Amino acid sequence: MRIDLWIPTATPFSTPEILALIGQEAEQRGIGTIWVGEHVVLFDEYASSYPYAEDGRLPAPPGSGLLEPLNTLSFLAAHTTTVRLGTAMVLLPQRNPVYTAKEVATLDWLSNGRVDFGIGVGWLEEEFNAVNVPWPQRGKRTDEYLEVLTTLWCDETSAYEGEFYSLNPCSMFPKPVQQPHPPIHIGGESDAALARTARAAQGWHTFNRTPGELAEPLAKLDVLLADQGRTRDDVTITVCPYFQPLDADIAEQYAEAGADAVSALIIPFGPDDVRTALDALQPVMERVAAL
């Protein structure tokens, strides 16, 4: 099992200097992947319920916002050489799939093949309204967009005809460095997310679960994978404990429960916070390395 980082790239704290330091320190210490999330806009008032907090509220202070994830990872790519760069999660149904395919392929090209492409269907209906995308059937839209991405990444001549998107024959180059394309990770806790993982992904990324809460969804995933002629060996299971505790013993429990990676949340407000957070992870990494 490996140890990753999940960074809420919130302003004003995610400065260029802090991000560059995170990349450099993560690489020196053997972190597997740096993951960043996405919200293009936020709201002071909203009716939607954030699924990872008991009160249904996203823990973002007024006047804060997240950096755009693919631009952020491009910046990190320029300050690193080996650590992998992941989105957890790009809100795919809110985006134009052709531009997204181009941006991800470009990032994979410029990083020499270090992209992990995590996607989610979104939880904030007000954000969909802001980008003028229908909220209903966003899961089906996501499935179609994944097919659009795949043809653009893999085929010399790409075309697609679906309910939500039409793509006339065209070509997109450069292709991603990773073949056939960067690994796709599905974020989400629903049965639909597990089914999407089994059908179309190389990873499942789950948030805010303890080791004891992995058995049930992984059992479901095993059945869904078998229906697709696949096994757990075909997917990477990444767990972000989020605000759950994480130490060496808990990391070992995650490994025993079936996780391939644990993505530790760090929230640095300055350079010292980066080093302190990574110092605290050192015993975890040493335990994992010994497994």
Q: Does pLDDT of 291 surpass 90?
A: no
DSSP string for 185-219: EEE-SSHHHHHHHHHH-SEEEEES--GGGSHHHHH
- pLDDT value for 250: 97
Confidence of residue 62 (pLDDT cuts 50, 70, 90): confident
Q: What is the pLDDT of residues 12-61, one digit of tens each?
A: 999 999 999 999 999 999 999 999 999 999 999 999 999 999 999 999 88
For 54, 180, 195, 271, the CA distances from 242, given in Å and listed in that order, are: 13, 31, 23, 21
Q: What angle do CA 50, 54, 60 make, to 5 degrees?
A: 50
- Angle at which helices 138-154 and 97-110 pack, to 10 degrees? 50
Among residues 84, 77, 112, 95, the alpha carbon closest in space to that of 6 is found at 84
Q: Which two tokens stand for residue 282?
A: 């050192």
Among residues 187, 199, 218, the alpha carbon closest in space to that of 143 is found at 199
Quick one: 2-290 is in which CATH superfamily? Luciferase-like domain (3.20.20.30)
Whole-prediction pTM: 0.97
Q: What is the pLDDT of residues 175-229, one digit of tens each?
A: 999 999 999 999 999 999 999 999 999 999 999 999 999 999 999 999 999 999 9
Domain ranges of the chain: 2-290
